[in-house]
Amino acid sequence: MDWLQIFNNTLASILSPSTLAYALAALGLAIHFGFGGLINMGVAAFMAIGAYGYAISILTFGFPWWGGALVGLVGAAVFALILGIPTLRLRGDYLAIATIAAAEVVRLLFMTTTFADVTGSAGGLGGYHASFRASNPFPEGTYGFGPWTYNETDLWVRVMGLMTLAFATLLVFMLTRSPWGRVMKGIREDEDAIRSLGKNVFSYKMQSLVLGGVIMAAGGIVYALPSAVNPGVYVTSLTFFVWTALLLGGAATVFGPLLGSLVFWVIQTFLTNFLSGLTESGILDMSSSQAGTLRFVLVGVALMLLVVFMPQGFLGDKKELTFVR
């Protein structure tokens, strides 16, 4: 059991693009659910639209990387509008079903061989990094220390991810302390009361859906930034993992999603390495891929326990009663 490597990898995951991507996705979901009370089970679709929008713009249309990112974000906003119009009037679990169905339709559209020329179908998309790497301000070299040692490309990816996350967090922070945030809190508690005071509830819910969706798409872009766009990633399991991260940290808080994603990924990485070490050294009599599936079982169990015993998460207020109804 190579403990040194296990801990090294675990610590490195704190700053991995996956963690940053999850943090963004969870932040977007916090706006949907934590502040708006919208049960969005289509997180994976928003992330996919961000990632595919980014990659397709670069590969098929020859956009520069920031243009691709813009397309991904705008695509998510459009998707939110299209999704919201029929579904925002629906009660909780109806919205969940509608969003999960919409997400599956999006995934199928990206997977189908009909559009394979553009989307790469089951193979996904890769090789779109040239433009991003070309704008790297960091000269060639090694940066950082210990488990956080990166070459200039990895550093650039992480810096970009962190800047995006910081910007999004600041945005959300400011919103929650504004009168707009006050209206959203009221809507979450009792829509009819807010309506009777003259506020257009539908419009506010739509704004929250679009904003959260755009932030989720940013997460998808960060996820795809260093590697590839693989349709096998944007499945309902991804949505459920992001939900777990959000509930873990605290759904109705600004920093909860960040903390939850961090804890989620650190534990995931630790378990992967730990279980792998156990199987390699023969302590566990199974293949390492089998051991890998065990950690997802644990995620499922964790979600179950969380939602019943600690729905407010680490940073949430127990009195807040995360689930209104």
Partner 1 sequence: MPTPALLRRTRFGAIVAFAAFLAALFAALVLPTAAHAEEGDPFKISGIVTFEDEPLEGVDLTIDGPGGEQDVTTDAEGRWTVQVPERGVEYTITLHEDTLPDGVVVVDDTGEDETPNEVVREMGQGGRLTLNFFLGEGERITVTFVDQLFQRLFQGLNFGLMLALASVGLSLVFGTTGISNFAHAEMVTFGAVAALLLVGPASLALPVWVGIPLAVILSAALGYALDATIWRPLRRRGVGTVQLMILSIGLSLAIRYLFQFFIGGDVHQLPPMLPGGSIPLFGAVTASATDLVSMAISIVVIIAFATWLTRSRIGKATRAISDNPALAATSGIDVNRVVRIVWIVSAGLAGLSGVLYTYYRPGLTWDMGVQFLLLMFAAVTLGGLGTAYGALVGSLIIGILTETISLWVPADLRFAGALLILIFILLVRPQGILGRRERIG
Partner 2 sequence: MSADITPPVSRPKSTGLHIGEPAAGVKKVDPIIVASGVKRTFGGLTAVDVEHLEIPRGAITALIGPNGAGKTTLFNLLTGFDKPDAGSWSYDGKDLANVPAHKVARMGLIRTFQLTKALGRLSVMDNMKLGQTGQTGERFWHSLIPALWRKQDREIEQRADELLVKFKLDKKRDDLAAGMSGGQKKLLEMARALMTSPTLVMLDEPMAGVNPALTQSLLDHILDLKDEGMTVLFVEHDMHMVRHIADWVVVMAEGRVVAEGAPDQVMRDPAVIDAYLGAHQELDLGVVTGRVAIIDADPTTDAEASASVDAAVIEAEASAELDAEKENDK
User: Please, what is the end-to-end C-alpha distance for the chain in angstroms?
Assistant: 48
Is residue 307 within the footprint of partner 1 (CB under 8 A)?
yes
Residue 115, number of CB atoms within 10 A of its CB: 13
> Looking only at residues 183 through 242 of this chain, which bind partner 2 when binding is defined by CB under 8 A?
183, 185-186, 189-190, 192-201, 207, 211
Is residue 301 within the footprint of partner 1 (CB under 8 A)?
yes
> Looking only at residues 169 through 188 of this chain, which bind partner 2 when binding is defined by CB under 8 A?
171, 174-175, 178-183, 185-186
Judged by CB under 8 A, the stretch of 8-16, 24-32, 89-97, 154-162 that binds partner 1 is: 89-97
Could you tell me the sign of the dihedral formed by the alpha carbons of 93, 96, 100, 101, in that order?
positive
User: DSSP readout, 244-303?
Assistant: HHHHHH-TTSSSHHHHHHHHHHHHHHHHHHHHHHHHHTTSS-S-HHHHHHHHHHHHHHHH
Is residue 303 within the footprint of partner 1 (CB under 8 A)?
yes
Find the shortest distance in angstroms from Cβ 105 to partner 1: 5
Interface residue with partner 1 among 130, 166, 283, 304 (CB under 8 A) is 304
CA separation (Å) from 191 to 33, 82, 97, 187?
Answer: 14, 22, 21, 5
Backbone angles phi, psi at 142, to 5 degrees: -110, 135
Contact 224, 18 (CB under 8 A): no
Is residue 39 within the footprint of partner 1 (CB under 8 A)?
yes
CA separation (Å) from 55 to 65, 237, 280?
Answer: 9, 22, 37
In the bound state with partner 1, the residue whose beta carbon lies nearer, of 134 and 297, is 297
Is residue 127 within the footprint of partner 2 (CB under 8 A)?
no
Which residue's structure tokens are 């943090």?
Answer: 23
User: DSSP readout, 180-226?
Assistant: HHHHHHHHHH-HHHHHHTT--HHHHHHHHHHHHHHHHHHHHHHHHSS
Which residue's structure tokens are 């630790």?
Answer: 270
Find the shortest distance in angstroms from Cβ 160 to partner 1: 26
Is residue 178 within the footprint of partner 1 (CB under 8 A)?
no
Is residue 48 within the footprint of partner 1 (CB under 8 A)?
no
In the bound state with partner 2, the residue whose beta carbon lies nearer, of 133 and 182, is 182
Is residue 102 within the footprint of partner 1 (CB under 8 A)?
yes
Is residue 294 within the footprint of partner 1 (CB under 8 A)?
yes
Contact 225, 72 (CB under 8 A): no
**For the chain, how many residues are written?**
325
Is residue 91 within the footprint of partner 2 (CB under 8 A)?
no
Is residue 91 within the footprint of partner 1 (CB under 8 A)?
yes
Tokens of 158: 């992480």
In the bound state with partner 2, the residue whose beta carbon lies nearer, of 67 and 186, is 186
Contact 220, 49 (CB under 8 A): yes
Is residue 232 within the footprint of partner 1 (CB under 8 A)?
no
Residues in contact with partner 2 by CB under 8 A are 171, 174-175, 178-183, 185-186, 189-190, 192-201, 207, 211, 319-321
Residues in contact with partner 1 by CB under 8 A are 39, 56, 60-61, 75, 78, 81-82, 85-87, 90-94, 96-98, 100-102, 104-105, 108-109, 111-115, 117-118, 199-200, 202-204, 206, 235-237, 240, 243-244, 247, 290, 293-294, 296-308, 311, 323, 325
